[in-house]
Structure 1
């Protein structure tokens, strides 16, 4: 059994890496999604980091 590769989602406001997701090799662009940032205390845009 092989472990999945993971990538982090970083907050675009404060830069903290709050979430991790499984890497998808078929995805061409970096994922951008609105998620709650516990440091900013609001929903902000999070971008996939590699």
Structure 2
């Protein structure tokens, strides 16, 4: 049986720093995550994307 959760790293789309790690359900979400979160280096709310 495959794992139902996977550890995912989120990268800032502006400065490309790796700020967040989250758990993602592999069964319900097939496409990559795109979440607007606060970036510490940019000091703003910026779009963060899932890495491979």
TM-score range, shorter chain: 0.7 to 0.9
Query: Map of 1:24-35 to 2, 5 A cutoff?
Result: 24-26=25-27, 27-35=29-37
Q: Number of aligned residue pairs: give it.
A: 47
- Aligned structure 1 segments of 4 or more residues deviating by more than 2 angstroms: none
User: Residues of 2 paired with 1:33 and 1:5: CA distance?
Assistant: 17
Q: What is the TM-score when the length of structure 1 is the normalising length?
A: 0.82
Which stretches in structure 1 are left out of the alignment for 5+ residues?
Answer: none
Q: What is the TM-score when the length of structure 2 is the normalising length?
A: 0.79
Residue 6 of structure 1, CA deviation: 1.1
